[in-house]
C-alpha cells in the first residue's frame, strides 16, 4: 500500500482551514479523478460500438485497483518523460485491464483527461467551499440581525467617521459573502467536459464525436461543451476569478475582526482565541488571522492562471501545464479561508461596552456634521467654529462659541449618536432580505 502523504501540506492544512479540503485535491484525489475519466471514456465508447459492456466493467475494475494501490510518487516519476501523468497512467491501466488495450483512452488525448479530471476536482472541492461560504454568511447574518441597531463608530481611512451600527458592518460582510457564493456557484455549474482528441477535431471517433463528447459530459455530471476548449481557457479563468472574488469576500470581514480585536479597540473577540508561546496575556483572533493569511495567497495564484490564458494554436506547450498546481492550490486556500472565517464569525463575541466607549471617544466630534448644520442657522462661520473645537479637542457641548447659540437640550440631541444612524438599520434589513431570498 502506498505511503505517500494524502495532502499537499499536512503540516499547515489545519492551520489554514484546509484539513477537510486538502484530501479532495490531493495527489491521490488527482489519480482517482483521472481514472474516473478513463472509466467514463470506455463506458461512452460502448454507445458507439468501440467497446463492449464487459470491456467497460473490466476497465472500471482495473481502475478501482489502481486508484487504491498506485503510489502518486511512482506515477509522478513515470510522468516526467511525457510531461503529464496521463501517459503512464493509461499504460498502467491497459496493463491491468482484462480487455483489449484499444478500449482504454478511446479517441482521447492526455489533455482531455487532465482537463476533465481537473473539472471534477474543482466541482467537488468547490461544493465544499460553497458550504463554508454559506456557513460564514449565515454567521454574518446572525450578527447583523442581533446587532441591527447596536451603535458603533464607523471608520474611514483608519479614522473615526460617523455613527453606524454593528449590524450594518456585519451586513457588508454578509453581502460580500453572498455575492461570492453566487459567483462561485455559477462558475462551478458551468464547468465543462473536455474531449477533443489529438488536435481538437474528434477525428478518432468521427462520425460519432459530438455524441460521444456529450455522453461523456452527462456521465461525469459536467456541462456539455459546444467544442473542445483545449486552447480556450475561459472555464479555468472563470473559475480562478470566482475563487479570487470569494477569497476577497472572506478577507474583508477577517481583516475587520483582526483590527476590532486589538487590545486598544477591544470591540470583538473570538470564541476560542489563540494564545502566545511567550506572552500569556494574549488572546489572538487566530481563526480570522488564518483566514486572512490563506486568502492573501490567492490573488497571486489567480494572476498565474490568467497569465496562462494565451494557449497557442490547437494545443499549448507550457501554459496548460502551468495551470494544474495553481488551480489546485486556489481551491484549497480559498476553501480553507472560508472555513476559518466561518469559525471566527460563528463564535464572535461583540463587546457593546467597548463599542459605546469608542463611540464616545471624541467627545461628540464625530457628530460635528450635525452641529455645523444647526449652528449655521445662527452664524456664518459655523464650519470654522466647529472645526476649531474639534481640532483643539474641546467638547462640542462645552465650546462657548457653540453653546452661545445652541441650548443644552438641543446639543444633547445633536450629539446623540443613535439619532444620526441614517438608514443603517434599513440597510441591514435589505441585506437580510436579500440573503434569505437567495437561500
Query: Which residues form the catalytic set?
Result: 276, 315
Closest-CA residue to 169 (of 244, 259, 243): 259
Identify the H or E element spanning 424.
Answer: helix 424-438
Burial of 18 (0-12, 13-18, 19+ CB in 10 A): buried
257 is written with which cell numbers? 475582526
Q: C-alpha 175: how far from its chain's center?
A: 14
Q: C-alpha 381: how far from its chain's center?
A: 51
At 342, phi and psi to the nearest 5?
-60, -40
At 154, phi and psi to the nearest 5?
-85, 145
Q: 227 and 169 in contact (C-beta within 8 Å)?
A: no
Q: Which residues contact 4 (CB under 8 A, 6 or more apart)?
A: 27, 28, 71, 72, 73
161 is written with which cell numbers? 467617521
Amino acid at each position: 500500500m502506498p505511503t505517500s502523504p494524502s495532502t499537499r501540506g499536512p503540516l499547515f492544512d489545519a492551520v489554514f482551514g484546509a484539513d477537510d479540503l486538502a484530501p479532495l485535491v490531493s495527489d491521490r484525489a488527482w489519480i482517482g479523478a483521472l481514472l474516473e475519466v478513463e472509466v467514463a471514456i470506455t463506458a461512452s465508447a460502448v454507445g458507439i460500438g468501440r467497446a463492449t459492456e464487459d470491456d467497460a466493467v473490466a476497465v472500471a475494475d482495473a481502475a478501482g485497483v489502481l486508484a487504491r494501490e498506485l503510489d502518486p510518487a511512482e506515477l509522478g516519476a513515470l510522468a516526467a518523460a511525457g510531461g503529464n501523468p496521463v501517459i503512464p497512467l493509461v499504460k498502467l491501466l491497459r496493463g491491468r485491464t482484462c480487455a483489449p488495450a484499444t478500449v482504454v483512452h478511446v479517441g482521447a488525448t492526455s489533455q482531455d483527461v487532465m482537463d476533465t479530471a481537473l473539472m471534477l476536482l474543482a466541482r467537488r472541492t468547490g461544493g465544499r467551499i460553497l458550504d463554508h461560504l454559506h456557513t460564514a454568511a449565515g454567521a454574518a447574518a446572525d450578527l447583523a440581525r442581533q446587532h441591527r441597531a447596536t451603535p458603533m463608530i464607523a471608520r474611514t481611512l483608519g479614522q473615526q467617521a460617523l455613527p453606524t451600527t454593528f449590524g450594518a458592518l456585519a451586513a457588508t460582510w454578509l453581502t460580500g459573502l453572498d455575492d461570492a457564493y453566487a459567483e462561485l456557484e455559477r462558475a462551478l455549474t458551468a464547468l465543462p467536459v473536455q474531449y477533443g482528441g489529438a488536435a481538437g477535431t474528434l477525428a478518432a471517433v468521427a462520425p460519432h464525436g459530438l455524441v460521444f463528447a456529450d455522453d461523456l459530459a452527462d456521465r461525469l455530471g459536467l456541462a456539455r461543451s459546444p467544442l473542445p476548449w483545449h486552447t480556450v481557457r475561459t472555464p479555468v479563468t472563470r473559475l480562478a476569478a470566482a475563487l479570487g472574488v470569494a477569497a476577497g469576500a472572506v478577507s474583508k470581514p477577517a481583516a475587520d475582526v483582526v483590527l476590532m480585536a486589538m487590545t486598544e479597540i477591544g470591540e470583538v473577540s473570538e470564541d476560542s482565541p489563540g494564545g502566545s508561546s511567550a506572552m500569556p496575556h494574549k488572546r489572538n483572533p487566530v481563526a480570522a488571522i488564518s483566514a486572512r493569511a490563506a486568502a492573501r495567497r490567492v490573488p497571486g495564484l489567480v494572476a498565474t492562471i490568467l497569465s496562462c490564458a494565451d494557449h497557442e494554436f490547437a494545443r499549448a506547450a507550457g501554459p496548460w501545464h502551468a495551470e494544474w498546481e495553481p488551480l489546485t492550490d486556489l481551491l484549497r486556500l480559498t476553501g480553507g479561508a472560508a472555513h476559518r472565517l466561518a469559525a471566527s464569525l460563528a463564535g464572535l463575541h461583540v463587546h457593546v461596552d467597548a463599542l459605546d466607549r469608542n463611540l464616545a471617544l471624541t467627545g461628540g466630534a464625530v457628530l460635528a456634521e450635525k452641529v455645523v448644520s444647526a449652528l449655521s442657522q445662527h452664524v456664518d462661520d459655523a464650519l470654522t467654529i466647529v472645526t476649531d473645537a474639534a481640532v483643539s479637542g474641546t467638547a462640542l457641548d462645552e465650546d462657548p462659541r457653540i453653546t452661545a447659540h445652541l441650548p443644552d437640550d438641543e446639543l444633547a440631541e445633536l450629539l446623540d449618536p443613535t439619532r444620526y444612524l441614517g438608514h443603517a438599520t434599513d440597510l441591514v434589513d435589505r441585506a437580510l432580505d436579500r440573503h434569505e431570498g437567495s437561500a
